[in-house]
Amino acid sequence: MSDLAGMSAVVTGGASGIGLATARLFVERGAWVAVLDRDVDAVPDGLRGVRCDVSDDASVRRAVDVAAGALGGVDVLVNNAGVGASGTVQDNDDAEWHRVLDVNVVGIARVSRAVLGYLRRSDRAAVVNTCSIAATAGLTRRALYSASKGAVLALTLAMAADHVREGIRVNCVNPATVDTPWVQRLLNDAEDPVAERAALQERQPTGRLVTAAEVAQAIVYLASPAAGSVTGTALAVDGGMQGLRLRPAGT
């Protein structure tokens, strides 16, 4: 399928997990892609890696200009780079709060404002932010991370309103637990990784983790002209975790 031929996409955090699956799917669908990541050494052939730290404004501006120059413009921005944090509100100190909000929230503002000029020149402009079920459901021991993703949801809506009359659509995806290197790292740190994985799977009504490829499909849909009337939405890719209330199995 090459329905996105001629389009140019920038994917932050595109060297791993959801971002990498998204970048690959864009290429499969015919788009040109630049991956902006702080670690581009392992970016596979076929994807243009540009080193970028979304918590550093100068790095973002440089990387966006390099990417736009190489791609001949930017039609699509996927703000996907993010970091995790665990604990209750008691557990993270000020430095940790500032670090996580700086990447997960201010990072989106930095990259978006650097890309906006290019998006305004596109007739198929779209932004997709990677939010999380943590924005819409109360999860234990995720106070800081949830606050950051709640801000991403609100920012998505505000950006959608600000830019709709310029022809720029803005949406987000809300995944539940996705089987990515990030989650694998969390499992490795757990006391009992097998029990922890089982607990995460059970939390999702489908009984399994979401795949990065499934989230990528949702992101690419929202970014594509097929979603031309979709803006200001949060698309859950969560195995039913947000919306369904099941009775215990067998009852």
* Rounded CA separation 60/122 (Å): 20
Report the amino acid identity of residue 12.
Answer: T
Q: Which of 238, 226, 236, 249 is nearest to 177 (CA)?
A: 238
User: Residue 97 Cβ, how far from ligand NAD at the closest point, in Å?
Assistant: 16
Q: Is 145 a catalytic residue?
A: yes
- Report the residue number, 157 or 167, with the smaller CB distance to ligand NAD: 157
Q: Which two tokens stand for residue 188?
A: 């490795």
* Rounded CA separation 197/179 (Å): 10
- Report the residue number, 31 or 239, with the smaller CB distance to ligand NAD: 239
Q: Which two tokens stand for residue 185?
A: 């790292």
> What counts of helices (H) and strands (E) characterise the chain?
8, 7
Residue count (the chain):
251
The contact set with ligand NAD (CB under 6 A) reads: 12-13, 15-19, 37-39, 52-55, 80-83, 103, 130, 132, 175, 177-178, 180-183
* Rounded CA separation 112/229 (Å): 21
- Report the residue number, 63 or 124, with the smaller CB distance to ligand NAD: 63
> Are the C-beta atoms of residues 107 and 37 closer than 8 Å to each other?
no
- Report the residue number, 4 or 176, with the smaller CB distance to ligand NAD: 176
Determine which one of 105, 145, 214, 223 is catalytic: 145
* Rounded CA separation 214/58 (Å): 33
As annotated, the active-site residues are: 145
